[in-house]
Structures are given as C-alpha cells and as structure tokens.
Amino acid sequence: MAMPPLVAPGPPLSGAERARYARHLTLAAIGEDGQRRLRAAKVLVVGAGGLGSPALLYLAAAGVGTIGIVDDDTVDAGNLQRQVAHRTQDVGRPKTASAADAVARVNPEVTVVEHRERLRADNAAGLVAAYDVVVDGADNFGTRYLVSDACAMAGKPDVWGSVLAFDGQLSVWWAGHGPCYRCVFPEPPPDGSVASCATAGVLGAMCGVVAAMQVTEVVKLITGSGEPLVGRLVIHDALGASTATLPLVRDPGCPVCGDAPTITSLVEVADCARPAEVGEPAPLVSVLDLAAELDGPRPPVLVDVRESSERAAAAIAGSVHIPMAAIRDGSYAGQLATGGRVVVHCATGGRSAVAGRILAEAGYAVRDLDGGIAAWRSARLPVVGATGG
Ligand SMILES: [Zn+2]
C-alpha cells in the first residue's frame, strides 16, 4: 500500500544541488520535489556499526538534510571489516565523531548531530521525537525493543535491519500502519539460544546489503515512493543467493501497539533475559528434523500461530491454524488433544516462543520450530499458498 510522503518539501534546490542530485532528479518517483523532501528530512541512525556505517554514507550521499547518530562506542580494529564509515586511523576514536567525519567527506551540506550516548529508556523518547524516521542498526535485542517502543509511542517508522553470518532481515515497523517489532518478536530469545555477531561472525558485505535496503526504505518513506516495507519481512540468504518476502500483521494482543497496551512508557528490556512470562521455553526443533518427523510414522501436530493473511501467503502443508489470540485466551483447547505431541511455528520464531511456553504450561509435549517458516523456506522445504512453490 502506497503512503503519502513523510516530510514536506523544503525551498527550491540551488544550481549546485541540481548538479549533485541529477540522477535522483531524473527519477519520476523522486524528482526535484522528492529531493527537497530529502533535504528537509531528519533521520536518526541508532548505532554507527555494521548497519549504521553504510546506512550513514548512503543517507548522506542521498542528500538527507539532517542525520543524527546515536552511539557510545569507540572504533575497534575488529570493526573495520564491515563498518565502512570508519578508517584504520579512526581506531580508538568515538564512533559518532568518526562517522560524522565520514558523512562530511561524502556530503558537507548534511547537518550531523552526534549523540554520543547509549539509547536508554530515559533518553529514547527525546531522541526519537527530534527526527522523522529512525534507522535501527542496533546489535542487541534490548536496543531494538527500545527503538521500536519509542517509535511506536511517537507514531514514527522504525526501519529495522538485522544481520548474522550470511543472513539478513529487514522490515519497517510502524504502529498505526502495521506491526511493531514486539508484534512479531514479543520477547527476547532465552539466554544463550541465539548467537550474536561476536560469536557467529558476519559477512561484511551482508551489512551493506541490508543497510542499503534500509536506506532505500527511508528514501521511499520520506518521498512517498513505492510500497514501503510495512507489514512485510524481507529475508536475504546470501549463501543461497535468495530473497524471500513474508507478510506480517499487527498482533491485537501486542503490549505496546495492541488493543489494550500494557507497556505505556519506555522500559529497558534485557538483551537475552526472560521477562515475566508463563512457563519454561519449549525445546527447539530444527526445520530438517521436523520435515523428517512429518514424513514419518508418528508425525506431531504442527500448529501455525500466525494470522490468516500470513498463512494465505505461505503455509506448511498439514499445519493446524491456531492464532496467537486463541493460544492466549485458551480457546485452542478443543483443537488440540491434551498431552499430544505438538510443534508450534510462526514467521521467524518470535511468537511461537511465547506460544510454546503457554502450551508447555498447559501440559502439552510441545516443541518450537527454530526460525519459523522463514527457516523452513530457507531450507528449500515446500510450502502451500499464494507464494508457495
Ligand atoms: Zn506491536
């Protein structure tokens, strides 16, 4: 669904600006009007790291007028493999200072605002309020929740990206127009269940792939071009050279943007800690193990906890549909034999982690599909639906 431009156009371009942005001006979807909107826009980049570094360079080159950079870290030699805004001689400098210099080298007309601090519950709302759109380049779950929550409460779009190893994901969370991060990832993963970039490694160029797509979404939002990635998740698998787009929907039970919000002021979320939820996390099952069990003599009941529109696009054959709302209010009981073997899945594993706890607490021998239908599709396993095959 197309959306109106996020930012009103500023004054007419100068001759020098016309020359600099000539390749934008010839694009019908941007043109002089769009370039004036970009120059009037204020974009906050959270993190001047793997995603933030290339994002800053492209935002500057695109002529975004004001770029804010939030980071409290200093440049380390181990950053240089992917954090392309920083140079060898910047090692030891604050990342905001190094990134501000990089932006100035690309485009001295851009105003850079350095926020040399960590995004926290007590400063996030003020930071987000000063900008039109936020690019989330955070490398930890706690900051991602804060960015999403602050944006949801301020009604601003959160252009989120994530990279790990050879895989990348991105979406635009925008409460009021589509789901927020919590709708899809309702709680941080249990401690130790998810590898971080520090332990798993990351292909440097993957950061560039995802960051460039994030900036593309920012430009689309500011200029009102195309169809923003609201309510959709892009999953890029570099080793398989494949990209999939999954539909996502708002969770009416979301604690931040749902019908009856329970989180109404910003709170810190621990990176990997377990929030107050029922039960223990259900054990994970891999997509390959599940595929073998479904073909075997005693297949488990596979429960898809996503919404109908997500299932219509792609579903695993034979799965039973019990959306999260029914899992939460207990109305699923008639659909599942007590004590039966159950596997729950969602898009990427966020919602199913919660569903797994609830069903385990209710006495089911439940397991949680690791990575959801996104991992299933990455493994080239078949799906049924509009985008199946
Ligand atoms: Zn939400």
Q: How far apart are CA 137 and CA 168, in angstroms?
A: 12
Is the pTM higher than 0.85? Answer: no
Query: Has 183 been annotated as catalytic?
Result: no
Q: How far apart are CA 88 and CA 75, in angstroms?
A: 9
Q: What is the CA radius of gyration of the chain?
A: 22
Q: Cα of 261 to ligand 1 centre, how many Å?
A: 9
Q: How far apart are CA 83 and CA 273, in angstroms?
A: 28
Is 106 exposed, middle or buried, given 0-12, 13-18 or 19+ CB atoms closer than 10 A?
middle
| Residue 277 CA from chain centroid, whole number | 23
Range 66-79 burial, b when 16+ CB lie within 10 A, else e: bbbbbbeebbeeeb
Q: Along the chain (389 residues), what's the average pLDDT of each consecutive run of 10 residues? A: 94 98 97 98 98 98 98 96 97 97 98 97 96 95 94 98 92 97 83 60 94 98 97 94 92 93 86 56 91 91 88 89 85 78 90 87 88 87 73
Query: Has 346 been annotated as catalytic?
Result: yes
Q: Cα of 132 to ligand 1 centre, how many Å?
A: 19
Which of 183, 197, 207, 254 is labelled catalytic? Answer: 197
Q: Cα of 82 to ligand 1 centre, how many Å?
A: 31
pLDDT recorded at residue 192: 55
Q: Which residue do the tokens 């240089």 mark?
A: 80
Cα-based distances in Å from 386 to 135, 315, 347, 349: 31, 9, 15, 21
pLDDT recorded at residue 274: 45
pLDDT recorded at residue 195: 59
| Residue 310 CA from chain centroid, whole number | 17
Q: Is residue 127 within 8 Å of 119, Cβ to Cβ? A: yes
Q: Cα of 230 to ligand 1 centre, how many Å?
A: 12
Which of 180, 183, 254, 346 is labelled catalytic? Answer: 346
Tokens of 369: 């599909």
Q: Cα of 366 to ligand 1 centre, how many Å?
A: 25
Domains of the chain, first to last: 15-247 (3.40.50.720), 284-378 (3.40.250.10)
pLDDT recorded at residue 44: 98
pLDDT recorded at residue 307: 82
pLDDT recorded at residue 306: 87
Q: Cα of 183 to ligand 1 centre, how many Å?
A: 4
Instruction: State phi, psi for 159 to the nearest 5 degrees.
Output: -90, 100
pLDDT recorded at residue 388: 44
